[in-house]
Structure 1
Amino acid sequence: MPEARRPYRSTLRKSQARATRRAVVDAARDLFVELGWSGTTIDAVAARAGVSRKTVFTSVGGKAALLKLALDWALVGDDEPVPLEERQVLAEMEQQTDPRALVARWAQFVAELEERAAPLAAVLVVAADADPDAAGVHAVSERNRRRGAEFIVKRLTAIDGLRPGVTAERAVAAALVLMDPSIHRTLVSEHGWTRREYADWIERNAVAELLEGDNADGCE
């Protein structure tokens, strides 16, 4: 009988551990946004999550690890162990063959992602100047952002949607600017733009910079 109950106990422990980790990361995320990098302490995270200081370290790690995981979850929208490149939204864009529709979907995707991630990205920039571990997280984040820009350019190139004369490097640079979290903070956080207005702005500028004439027609 005891043998038959072990899988249940193991599943319960994993569920409890995941719930604790979720609480810790959620607490860290909120504190980072509210108090910034220097104002957030492990003790404050523990108190907000309702766990011990030791539990914060054993379930996630130190401040840089907390910020990394909070940002990772913000980028994908949940704590499921599925990387962004394997998410349905990327598959949808990979299947899109109309350049105009592809850019529109990409703009919506960026707007949704930055709504979750931009506040933490701002914290990471500050943290990178103060902490070597956070600097490493920031370097990886920047490489991943470039990969995101390269993705949309490669997809447009593959379906013959990229404007003639625009090099891949120039197109990637333009996409990187449109994906910059600081632009989200300026337009949305500071000036009150809605997510829809922000997505429309990304779309208009992406169409103007990346698409050739016929595909750019109809852009408002």
Structure 2
Amino acid sequence: MPLPPDGRRAEVARANRSSVVDAARRLFAEQGYFTTTVEQIARLAGVAPATVYATTGGKQGLLFELVEAWSTTPAVREALEGVDRCHRVEDVLAELSAGVGRIREEWGDVIEVVLTTAPHEPAVAARVLEVRDGYEADVDRCVRRILDLTDRPQVHREVLDVLWFYFGFRAYALLVRDRGWDGERAEAWLVRQALRAVEDVLDDHTTGSLTA
């Protein structure tokens, strides 16, 4: 049965919006946020420039929409649910590392565009700080699981700093994008190094290996 006129218009609007967002993502990644124009996005999406403004509010609206999709990806929830089920510190780090890898594989292009744009665009910088705070809270959840397993709450800040160093916005990308590592190798290396660093922090407060 054909869609009624209102339904057809809504379907076309959704399709146009999706095309515009996809076009913006591709162009931002290929040539940068500031070099990309609304006219180029419209041309690649097959719509009029006015449609870009009407559906997303222009370039900044498009970038914010991509940030929202990145920061709410189900990979975050899945990783944290996995962390909650872990019974060894090594497994907590493996879940966190795998989650970082999945997010980077899916949204690495958007992350790099946003981090590159933020220093020159105050509104984007403010949004990045919000995302960073949310991600730090996610990493902190992993830290709290580690401290539950080791009963060492007094080293909370140090363990959080270690995990941020290895699993923050930069480390995985540096290995995979800049140094050409494959994702599996990067994830395994980050887990090994982070585990050693966490063991160093806990060395004065625990006995035996954290992998035992």
Tell me, yes or no, if structure 1 residue 96 matches structure 2 residue 92: no
Secondary structure of the residue aligned to 2:47 is coil
Q: Which amino acid aligns with 1:107?
A: S
1:137, CA displacement in angstroms? 1.6
Deviation of residue 176 (structure 1)? 1.4
2:205 alignment counterpart: none
Cα distance in 2 for partners of 1:54, 1:25 equals 14
* Counterpart Cα distance in 2 of 1:161 and 1:68: 39
Q: What is the alpha-carbon distance in structure 2 between the residues aligned to residue 168 and residue 128 of structure 1? A: 29
C-alpha RMSD of the superposition: 2.8
Post-superposition, which runs of at least 4 consecutive aligned residues in structure 1 deviate over 6 A? none
Q: 1:19 and 1:201, CA in 2 relative to 1: closer, same or farther beyond 3 A?
A: farther
- Is 1:191 matched with 2:179? yes
Distance 1:18 1:201, change over 3 A: farther
Alignment equivalent of 2:63, drawn from 45, 49, 67: 67
Question: Cα–Cα, structure 1 residues 75 and 200, in superposed 2: closer, same or farther, change >3 Å?
Answer: farther
* Amino acid paired to 1:173: D
**Aligned residue among 190, 193, 196 for 1:208:** 196
CA distance 1:170–1:17, shift in 2 (3 Å): farther
Identical columns (%) = 24
TM norm structure 1: 0.78
SS in 1 for 2:209: helix
Query: Which segments of 5 or more consecutive residues in structure 1 lack a partner in the other structure?
Result: 78-82
Which residue number corresponds to residue 112 of structure 1? 102
1:96 to partner: Cα distance: 2.7
Does 2:20 align with 1:24?
yes
1:177 correspondence with 2:173 = no
Structure 1 Cα separation of the partners of residues 64 and 167 of structure 2: 19
Q: Which amino acid aligns with 1:47?
A: R
Q: Which residue of the partner structure matches residue 80 of structure 1?
A: none
**Which residue does 1:148 correspond to in 2?**
138
Counterpart for residue 126 of structure 2: 136
Cα distance, 1:108 vs structure 2: 0.8
Instruction: Output one character per residue of 1:185-206: Cα deviation in whole Å (capped at 9) or x when no partner.
Output: 3211122100101111221122
1:157–1:130 Cα change, 3 Å: same
Q: Distance in 1 between matches of 2:146 and 2:12?
A: 44
Pick closer, same or farther for the CA change 1:11–1:59 going to 2, 3 Å: same
Q: Which runs of 5+ in 2 are unaligned?
A: 203-207
Residue 33 of structure 1 deviates from its aligned partner by 1.0
Structure 1 position 126 matched with structure 2 position 133: no
Query: Could you state the TM-score of these two structures normalised by the residue count of structure 2?
Result: 0.81
Distance in 1 of aligned mates of 2:116 and 2:140: 26
Q: Distance in 1 between matches of 2:84 and 2:67?
A: 24
Note closer, same or farther for the CA distance 1:92–1:38 as it changes in structure 2 (3 Å cut).
same
Contact 1:21-1:60 within 8 A present in 2 as well: yes
